[in-house]
Structure 1
Amino acid sequence: MTYTFTNTERNNLKASVFETKSLLYLATKSKKYKDITVFTVDCFNDVGGMSDKESIWDVQAKGEKSLTPRKIGRYLITLYKNYVSVFSPFFQEFIFFMPPLGEQYLNNSTLSCYEIDNFKEAQRFKVIEGLKSAANLEEDIDLSGFLAKVLFVEDRTDECTYVKRIMQFKSLKLNSDSFYSAIFKEIRDKQTSLKNSDIENTRITRPNEVLQLDRHLTSEKLQVFVLNRLIGGDVFSRGNYLPSSYAIFTRSLDEEEIEDHIFEQNAALSRAFFDKNNQKNFWRLFAAIFKEFDGDSSKKVHQVIESIDEKLIERTAHIDMDATRFLVAMIRDGLLSDN
């Protein structure tokens, strides 16, 4: 049993905004995608979400304006090919990601995510006709099994909001929209760079073999990427890095104790962030700290600590007061270096 990659982009074309939005939709939009840990780029389709157990969520992204049901049907062909492929058992859902569709085609135009039944009957037939034509299918073939697994998703969210949702807490303005737009563009450019390799006609026998092609991002890397941009450095790649704003809290320690102490704080932050059951609490604590610096990035570490709700610290696993001070110091140093 082999799966062959075909119709992949062989050159360094600019990844569309729409493909990046569709990736971030999988990464942030819904709890039903919580098992997704890897996002493939131009492999199974424009974007693919994959779990550790090799379940795949297949995404075809079309940013074309004024889509019609018949056109949509034709564009469903790449999703359909995966539905009938040898990897069919691994595909959990087929997502067609598109701009808002004309309300004249739909039963309920207020929905941003819907199944085939939301198309008016005559328009539903046009979707089916478009797919049959594109795939050269017999007129009497039954497509109900495939269409039951297709989710139509309308993009109604701006670039900044997609990035903000990577941070696992309710919307909070931690920075300007231009800051988040810049992050979105960086993610888009990274997505583009992953298409540089030529994988046309490459064959794999299991979904997880796609990781060997180096055309993927992970959910953890996306979160770390945003966190690094907010702090202004590589949070988890600094070894025994000592934030200058934290030095005052090490004055009572000798040289060897300082090294051990700093290692412990870096390790605590890593454990807190990479504990999947703890990430929301980590982001809430981070947001509270960041908010304290709003308008005054020179505020002292002890002043920020005094303003933080102690319950936020208590709820954040792996982090004690020392680790919290350390995080505050990292954020403070990053903000000061930006000014």
Structure 2
Amino acid sequence: MAYKVTSSERLRPSGAEYETKALLYLMNFRNDSNDIYFFVVDFFNDLTGMDRMGNKLWDMQSKGAKNSSPKAIGKELVTLFKNYRSELEFNYYLLFLGGVSNTVRIDNSLNIFDISNVKPEAVKKLKEGLWEESKDKTYIDYESITDEEIEGFLDKVQFIVDDKEPSDYVKSILKIHSGIIPDEQSLVAIFNEIRDQQSSKKNIGVVENITIETSSEALDYYHHMTSNEIKILVLGRIINRNPFDKGVPLSFSSTLHKAPPEKWKTILEDCQLALSRALFNKNRAGEFWALFENIYSVIVSNPLDDINSIFKKLNLLWVEQSDFDAISLKYFISIVKDGVQ
């Protein structure tokens, strides 16, 4: 089994926003979002979600046009169709759209739908567009395509029509805890930073014409981001520092120095490990952000309190449901306190 990278793209500024919206859709808005860990950029397609072991693939093409016609949509499906015909197994084929014309959907209220919600006449035009674009692409053996193959492919495609602002996609990472949601300008700035990091992956080496035997080999070329990187970025922007910076948080110094010096390194490592578990535990994401909101609000309301006083004022429910112990939680309180004050 082999897969050859073809038609990788450099950044298209007009489409960068929608590629990032597509990434954050994969990360936060699907029932299976917790299964997606890697976001591979400009390798298989505009974007491909991948599980931790690199075996399961969510292949995605994005198009930013606001009023795509059925035929234009068909043309945009060509890279997904190329991957459908490849020797690699892609589990999902997703087309993320900025908008569609009123000639496309049967039920216009559905922004996530499959081919069954596309009008019969639109299906014909969509197929026509896909046929035409396939003929123009050198990486598809046009002569071997059949109607049955195209119909089989279209049955597997899911269409997603964007209906959110950039800020909404960032809010979704925070699990809508109002006490920690920054203002609109800050949310957009965070979105833009994710967009810029995503776009930068396109400039890491040339992958055109590379051949891989397994999907996980794509990770060797570092054209990817991870959900953990994005969470660190967002948390860091809220508290104005990287939560995993080296060194001792100033507010934690007095606590640390009560321990024997030979224990300091181990204590800090254990605290960072606990923070890592808490932040990256997808099964307790809501609980983490609820605890963070609680810590944040207590610090803001009691700016002169030390970490022990803040610790006592926290909601016991969120504390007990977290991945922290008492020492590591005080460490996290220190990081937040030093960042927001």
TM-score by length of 2: 0.88
The 2-side partners of 1:111 and 1:299 are apart by: 50
Letter of the 1:264 partner, please give it: D
Alignment deviations for residues 214-271 of structure 1 (CA, whole Å, 9 cap, x no partner): 1001111111221222222222242xx3221223434643433445433432332223
Counting only pairs closer than 5 Å after superposition, residues 208-247 of structure 1 correspond to structure 2 as 208-238=216-246, 241-247=247-253
**Structure 2 match to 1:67:** 68
**Cα 1:296–1:122, aligned 2, differ >3 Å: closer, same or farther?**
farther
Contact conserved, 1:298 with 1:332, CA < 8 A, in 2?
A: no
Map residues 37-76 of structure 1 onto 2, 5 A cutoff: 37-51=37-51, 52-76=53-77
* Residue pair 2:177, 2:293 contacting (<8 A) in 1 also: no
Find 2:327's aligned residue among 322, 325, 335: 322
- 1:96 counterpart SS class: strand
Mapped partners of 2:163, 2:304: distance in 1: 38
CA drift of 1:50 comes to 1.0
Q: Supply the distance in 1 between the matched residues of 2:291 and 2:132 (Cα, whole angstroms).
A: 54
1:198 equivalent to 2:197? Answer no
Q: Check conservation: 2:70, 2:103, Cα contact below 8 A.
A: no
Asked if the contact 1:165–1:171 (Cα under 8 Å) also holds between the matched residues in 2, the reply is no
Paired position in structure 2 for 1:144: 151
Contact 2:115–2:154 (8 Å) recurs in 1: yes
Alpha carbons 1:117, 1:124 under 8 Å: kept: no
Any residues of structure 2 matched to 1:1-339 within 5 Å, and which? 1-9=1-9, 11=10, 14=13, 16-51=16-51, 52-87=53-88, 90-136=89-135, 141-142=147-148, 143-167=150-174, 169-174=175-180, 175-196=182-203, 197-238=205-246, 241-250=247-256, 252-294=258-300, 299-317=305-323, 319-336=324-341
Distance 1:306 1:103, change over 3 A: farther
Secondary structure, aligned partner of 1:194: helix
Gaps of 5+ in 2: 136-141
Q: Which letter does structure 1 place at the counterpart of 2:127?
A: I
Deviation at 1:274, TM superposition (A): 3.5
Partners of 1:297 and 1:335 within 8 A in 2 = no
Say which structure is richer in helix: 2
SS at match of 1:57: strand
The whole-number CA distance in structure 1 between the counterparts of 2:93 and 2:219 is 20
Q: Identify which range, 269-278 or 220-229, moves more after superposition.
A: 269-278
CA distance in 2, matches of 1:121, 1:217: 39
1:212: how far off? Answer: 1.2
Map Cα deviations across residues 176-211 of structure 1 (whole Å, 9 max, x no partner): 121121111111111121111211111111111101
Partners of 1:255 and 1:161 in 2: CA distance = 46
1:244–1:20 CA distance, 2 compared to 1 (3 A): same
Calculate the aligned-residue CA RMSD, in Å.
Answer: 2.3
Q: Secondary structure of the equivalent of 2:45?
A: coil
Q: Which amino acid aligns with 1:117?
A: S
Residue 13 of structure 1: how far off its partner (Å): 5.1
What is the percent sequence identity of the aligned residues?
A: 31
- The whole-number CA distance in structure 1 between the counterparts of 2:129 and 2:320 is 56
Question: Cα distance 1:148–1:13, how it changes in 2: closer, same or farther (>3 A)?
Answer: closer
The one-letter code of the counterpart of 2:47 is V
SS in 1 for 2:178: coil
Unaligned runs of 5+ in 1: none
